[in-house]
Amino acid sequence: MRIFDEKINIKAIQHNSFKEDSVREEIVSPILKQLGYSAFKSNRIIRSKNLEHPYIQFGTKKENISIIPDYLIQVDNNNVFIIDAKAPSENILKGKNPEQAFSYAIHREVRVEKYVLCNGLELVVFDEKINIKAIQHNSFKEDSVREEIVSPILKQLGYSAFKSNRIIRSKNLEHPYIQFGTKKENISIIPDYLIQVDNNNVFIIDAKAPSENILKGKNPEQAFSYAIHREVRVEKYVLCNGLELVVFDVNDIKPIVHLKINEIEEKWEEVYRLLSPLAFTKPHIFDYKPDFGIWWLKSGMNPSMKFYFYDSGIGTIARVDEEIFTFTLTIPFEKECLASFDFNKKHFDSFIAQVPEDKRDKVKSSLTRYPFKYGAESETDSFKVSFSAILGPFVMENENEAYLPLKVVDFL
């Protein structure tokens, strides 16, 4: 079978004049055509598809997606893979190009398992789904676990060899033993990575071969000895054998997290809240419940829907400025979410009419003097209101979170 109309001239591709657009038109486009894709078929080529929300969210971390691949490929209206052309001088095996393509591939508006890169000289197909059979194969050793599994996890958590959130590889100990009274115990391992946040050691992580037991026995015992060493002193130590990832705390006997690697995407929030840089610098932010407005949008629900809330308990209400008041409610939705509701001054009379008479004066007075907030000190201080609301027009952001307030339409 002939894909190209003429034999490929490698020297021509290597010439400085052969740029990314040449790769796209002369190499990638004929390949897609030969595979049976077209801009006008059910097996469809979509060129340069922009994202409505060009970022992905990992816990509280938002990562911008800085590329738009040349082609998104669909079969029967289902996204199946993306393909991006790069200049011949570009590295498509590792580094920013495959990493950015991966971020686009897993985005909720795309969601494909395969992503393809071509620089005119090479074509590489990646599969973002972890291949468990490949990991179980005898050829998949400790170094493969380190490079293919552990390293991407650390990068996604926000660590690098060159940042303040830093990866230190294979740190030797000046005194490779720990002392228990008169007993000296040698430390026989050097974990693959010591992780620092702002120059403070925070955890270690060690890769093991898939055949190794990382739940009990010598591997967790040796990692524990390293973790508590006076030159290291971290509370968390992590082991991964390519099939499982286990997080231990030096103060607990059992693991605090134990998951299968092929579950890591669905359980990423749990990993992120334990091991991300924010887990060590601002752990309090993980006590926040997810924002209802943002969860509603992310779940693909109708953004114009009108919500009705009856006999909803209000514990705290605040005045934001001369015109706007705000309160919050906890709402069960997939998981327990926190919703913020804003209403303006014209609704204040209908709001206050729903407050029980014995609390009405106190609520009014609290909202007219500093700190312009009414807070229930006990359950008897709270009260119930009924109202309707719609999603507000703007996502609000601060240093720690993003949230989408709802706008009260009427108090019922």
pLDDT at 14 over 80: no
**In the block, residue with structure tokens 């082609």:** 71
Q: What is the DSSP letter of 322?
A: S
**In the block, residue with structure tokens 């020297």:** 11
**Residues 94-140: tens digit of each pLDDT:** 778 888 888 788 787 888 888 899 988 888 887 755 656 556 666 67
Tokens of 96: 């920013």
Average the pLDDT over each of 95-104, 180-189, 398-407 and give the range with the smallest value: 180-189
CA distance 134 to 399: 41
| DSSP states along 89-113 | TS--SSSHHHHHHHHHHTSTTT--S
**Count of C-beta atoms within a 10 Å radius of residue 151:** 18
Q: How confident is the model at residue 361 (pLDDT cuts 50, 70, 90)?
A: very high
C-alpha Rg value of the chain to the nearest Å: 27
| CATH match of 292-411 with 2.40.50 | yes
| 3-class secondary structure, 175 | coil
pLDDT on residue 303: 76
Q: Is 359 left (phi over 0), alpha (psi -120 to 50) or beta?
A: alpha
**In the block, residue with structure tokens 């398992």:** 113
Strands 335-344 and 324-333: antiparallel
| 342 touches 323 (CB < 8 A) | no
pLDDT at 250 over 80: yes
pLDDT on residue 161: 82
CATH number (3.40.50.970, 3.20.20.150, 3.40.1050.10, 3.90.1570.30) of 10-127 reads 3.90.1570.30
Distances (CA, A) of 317 to 362, 388, 412: 12, 17, 18
pLDDT on residue 17: 66
CA distance 134 to 124: 18
| 3-class secondary structure, 307 | strand
| 3-class secondary structure, 80 | strand
Is omega for the bond preceding 255 within 30 degrees of 0, making it cis?
Answer: no
CA distance 173 to 80: 48
**Residues 65-77: tens digit of each pLDDT:** 777 888 999 998 8
Q: Say if residue 311 is exposed, middle or buried (CB neighbours under 10 Å; 0-12, 13-18, 19+).
A: exposed
**Residues 213-232: tens digit of each pLDDT:** 999 998 998 888 888 877 88
Mean per-residue pLDDT of the chain: 82
- Which of 187-196, 257-266, 295-304, 356-365: highest mean pLDDT? 356-365
pLDDT on residue 381: 85
Q: Give residues with Cβ within 8 angstroms of 382, minimum separation 6.
A: 313, 314, 315, 376
Distances (CA, A) of 191 to 144, 197, 219, 237, 282: 15, 17, 10, 10, 26
| 168 touches 210 (CB < 8 A) | no
**Residues 271-292: tens digit of each pLDDT:** 998 999 988 887 766 666 778 8
Q: What is the DSSP letter of 211?
A: T
Q: 134-285 adopts what CATH topology?
A: tt1808, chain A (3.90.1570)
Phi, psi at 247, each rounded to 5°: -110, 125
pLDDT on residue 42: 82
pLDDT at 240 over 90: yes
**In the block, residue with structure tokens 């926000």:** 158
Q: What is the mean pLDDT of residues 138-156?
A: 82
Q: How confident is the model at residue 335 (pLDDT cuts 50, 70, 90)?
A: low
pTM: 0.47
pLDDT on residue 4: 45
Q: What residue spans define the domains of the chain?
A: 10-127, 134-285, 292-411
Of residues 287 and 168, more confidently modeled: 168
pLDDT at 405 over 60: yes
% of the chain at pLDDT higher than 70: 83
Q: 195 has which bridge partners?
A: 167, 203
134-285 matches 292-411 in fold:
no
**Residues 23-36: tens digit of each pLDDT:** 888 888 888 988 98
Phi, psi at 265, each rounded to 5°: -65, -45
